């Protein structure tokens, strides 16, 4: 087996500048396919979600799916593209068994959107500066079917074809060759996926192929005026693998050049088990799809009024939402990033933060105590037994000091163990409150006697030290002292002391 990494000295690596551009395909979550009425759903008995149009039977005509256009416009705007009012579908001609028409309906010189961008942390992210990655274009096209090579008794001699996927609406999003490191590639994809999920146009499920990425990689000597020859790495099914594949590919190309060779323009496949890429087929220079305007579809016109109507569905996007949440709730950038990782999580936090006394308390509960218990139980956030009201109650009790953190943890443990809401556990197990002032007074006196140094500080004008006494007495009462009464008595006794 070949070694997964090429060994090159740091000096050699430092001579070269990697250049990367990404082509991302996303399947749209429309009800039906791009140009026919067939259901658009993953899986199903092979060749059951098909009709004369998506089977490419002679005479069957395509009709464009309105929802696919709306999703394309939403996604395009979310990545800051300009929308072209009049775009044109084109035939991309090629033969392949899973492509029954012999062409794919795509867009060529007049795509629906162009000139977008996305910001990513520069380099390995350590400098803290952001860098703008250009998005060349976003266009609409249709997916092909699938060739099935395994799982049949006669798989050795036959390949089967499933055309259920044929005609699924796709967006292709092409970046400029602006990416420079494997980490920038990872960040670009992570942020792009987050945005697509927020707009709701795709589920971006990589295992099911709803998000696929080809990475174009080249290297050149630093300072060179022309990019090197690129190789395209295909068929990588996770962002982390793409990062590894790009890393490998950069070093492979440098090694080829250092050996006096030339990088060949080709498609390569990533083999995850071996941690390397393999040549798949060299891309003939005259790769000619003979694009021409699709004669069966009129130009697509998205006028200003329709565009405005579509864009009303554009939600607040992750970057803007993070900034607002930090500002509005005083939470840390890390917590804001955690919450905005999905729209549902951010919605949940915000709903609780608006009701609770302290949004920051809600944030810390969610990111620590609750996340920890979900992880231990192997549960997703949406399976959490803690409801919105339970979360707000827990945060408020912790904030006011009515329950100690130890008690809070014990009650959360019970809630997760019994799959009960926190408010149910609290109603049953809430500590008996001590509201007898003579009992609390006695505890306050004891704590004051035991801490003369803090008493001096208080008398010296540092009145915030009273919080220390409140905490000590609360602890001594095992969290059961009535907090309002306790506060009042501490200040009174300190003033008298």
| Residues within the interface to ligand ADP (CB under 6 A) | 19-23, 174-177, 216-218, 227, 230
Residue 54 contact partner, candidates ligand ADP, Zn ion, none, CB within 5 to 8 A by sort of partner = Zn ion
Compute the least distance from the CB of residue 36 to Zn ion, in Å.
3
Q: How far is the CB of 135 from ligand ADP (least distance, A)?
A: 9
| Cα 114 from Cα 81, distance rounded (Å) | 5
What is the number of H-type helices and E-type strands within the chain? 17, 16
Of 233 and 486, nearer to ligand ADP (C-beta) is 233
Residue 345 touches which of ligand ADP, Zn ion, none (Cβ within 5-8 Å per kind): none
Residue 20 C-beta: closest distance to ligand ADP, Å: 6
Helix spans in 340-482 (H): 343-355, 359-364, 371-377, 388-400, 405-418, 422-429, 437-450, 452-459, 466-476
Provide the minimum distance between the beta carbon of 306 and ligand ADP in the complex, in angstroms, as a whole number: 29
CB 182 within 8 A of CB 171: no
99 or 218, CB closer to ligand ADP? 218
- Which residue's CB atom is positioned nearest to ligand ADP? 21
Q: State the residues that interact with Zn ion by CB under 5 A.
A: 36, 38, 51, 53-54
Place of tokens 């899986």: 43
Nearer to ligand ADP, 199 or 216 (CB): 216
Question: 408 CB contacts (<8 Å, ≥6 apart)?
Answer: 369, 394, 397, 398
Q: How far is the CB of 53 from Zn ion (least distance, A)?
A: 5
CB of 287 to ligand ADP, least distance (A): 7
| Helix 318-329 with 343-355: angle, nearest 10 deg | 20
Question: Which of the listed partners (Zn ion, ligand ADP, none) does 20 bind, with a CB threshold of 5 to 8 Å by partner kind?
Answer: ligand ADP
Q: Kindly tell me which of 19 and 54 has the beta carbon lying closer to ligand ADP.
A: 19
Tokens 């945005």 belong to: 195
Q: Quickly list DSSP for 239-250.
A: HHHHHHHHHHHH
Cβ atoms of 136 and 176 closer than 8 Å: yes
User: What is the number of alpha carbons within 13 Å of residue 237 lying toward its C-beta?
Assistant: 9
Closer to ligand ADP at the Cβ: 30 or 216? Answer: 216
Pure H helices in 162-238: 182-199
**Nearer CB in complex with ligand ADP: 53/218:** 218
Interaction partner, residue 174 (ligand ADP, Zn ion, none; CB < 5-8 Å by kind): ligand ADP
Cα separations (Å) of 369 from 345, 405, 441? Answer: 15, 10, 33
| CB closer to Zn ion, 53 vs 218 | 53
Out of ligand ADP, Zn ion, none, what residue 38 binds, judged by CB under 5 to 8 A for its kind, is: Zn ion
> Reduced to 3 states, what is the DSSP secondary structure of residue 221?
strand
Beta-sheet pairing, 231-236 with 266-271: parallel
21 binds, among ligand ADP, Zn ion, none (CB under 5 to 8 A by kind): ligand ADP
Least CB distance to Zn ion at residue 74 (A): 24
Asked whether 264 and 282 are in contact (CB, 8 A), the reply is: yes
Minimum separation from the CB atom of position 33 to Zn ion (A): 5
Please, which residue, 38 or 179, has the CB nearer to ligand ADP?
A: 179
Residue 243 interacting entry, from ligand ADP, Zn ion, none, C-beta within 5 to 8 Å by type: none
Closest approach, Cβ 73 to Zn ion, in A, equals 23
- Answer for the pair 440, 485: CB distance below 8 angstroms, yes or no: yes
Q: Sheet with 292-293: list strands edge to edge.
A: 103-107, 89-93, 292-293
Q: Which is nearer to ligand ADP, 220 or 386 (CB)?
A: 220
Distance CA 46, CA 43 (A): 8
Say which entry of ligand ADP, Zn ion, none residue 36 contacts (CB below 5 to 8 A, set by partner kind): Zn ion
Cα separation of the two ends of the chain: 80
19 binds, among ligand ADP, Zn ion, none (CB under 5 to 8 A by kind): ligand ADP
Cβ count within 10 A of residue 19: 18
Rounded to a whole number of angstroms, the minimum distance from the CB of residue 215 to ligand ADP is 8
Q: Which is nearer to ligand ADP, 207 or 288 (CB)?
A: 288
């Amino acid at each position: 087996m070949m070694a997964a990494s090429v060994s090159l000295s740091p000096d050699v690596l430092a001579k070269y500048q990697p250049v990367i551009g990404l082509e991302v395909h996303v399947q749209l979550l429309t009800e039906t396919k791009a140009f026919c009425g067939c259901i658009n759903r993953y899986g199903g008995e092979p060749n059951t979600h098909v009709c004369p149009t998506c089977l490419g039977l002679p005479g069957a005509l395509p009709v464009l799916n309105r929802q696919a256009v709306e999703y394309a416009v939403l996604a395009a705007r979310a990545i800051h593209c300009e929308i072209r009012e009049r775009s044109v579908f084109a035939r991309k001609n090629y033969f392949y068994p899973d492509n029954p028409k012999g062409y794919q309906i795509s867009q060529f010189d007049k795509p629906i959107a162009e000139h977008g961008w996305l910001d990513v942390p520069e380099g390995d992210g350590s400098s803290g500066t952001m860098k703008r990655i250009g998005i060349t274009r976003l266009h609409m096209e249709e997916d092909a079917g699938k060739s099935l090579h395994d799982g049949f008794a006669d798989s050795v001699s036959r390949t089967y074809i499933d055309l259920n996927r044929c005609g699924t609406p796709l967006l292709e999003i092409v970046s400029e060759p602006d990416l420079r490191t494997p980490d920038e590639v990872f960040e670009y994809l992570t942020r792009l996926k987050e945005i697509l999920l927020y707009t709701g146009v795709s589920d971006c499920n990589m295992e099911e192929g709803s998000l696929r990425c080809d990475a174009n990689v080249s290297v050149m000597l630093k300072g060179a005026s022309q990019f090197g020859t690129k190789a395209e790495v295909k068929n990588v099914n996770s962002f982390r693998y793409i990062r590894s594949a790009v890393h490998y590919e950069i070093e492979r190309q440098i090694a080829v050049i250092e050996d006096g060779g030339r990088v060949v323009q080709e498609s390569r496949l990533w083999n995850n088990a071996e941690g390397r890429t393999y040549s798949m087929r060299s891309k003939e220079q005259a790769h000619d799809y003979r694009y021409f305007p699709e004669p069966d579809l009129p130009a697509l016109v998205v006028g200003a009024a329709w565009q405005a109507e579509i864009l009303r569905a554009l939600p607040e996007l992750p970057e803007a939402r993070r900034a607002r949440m930090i500002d509005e709730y005083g939470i840390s950038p890390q917590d804001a990033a955690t919450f905005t990782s999905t729209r549902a999580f951010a919605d949940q936090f915000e709903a609780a933060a608006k009701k609770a006394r302290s949004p920051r308390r809600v944030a810390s509960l969610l990111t620590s105590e609750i996340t920890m218990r979900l992880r231990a139980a192997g549960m997703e956030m949406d399976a959490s037994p803690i409801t919105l009201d339970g979360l707000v109650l827990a945060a408020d009790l912790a904030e006011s000091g009515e329950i100690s953190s130890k008690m809070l943890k014990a009650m959360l443990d019970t809630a997760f163990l019994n799959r009960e809401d926190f408010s149910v556990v609290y109603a049953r197990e809430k500590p008996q409150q001590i509201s007898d002032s003579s009992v609390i007074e006695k505890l306050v006196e004891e704590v004051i006697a035991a801490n003369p140094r803090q008493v001096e500080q208080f008398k010296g004008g540092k009145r915030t030290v009273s919080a220390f006494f409140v905490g000590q007495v609360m602890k001594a009462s095992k969290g059961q002292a009535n907090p309002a009464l306790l506060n009042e008595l501490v200040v009174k006794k300190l003033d008298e002391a």
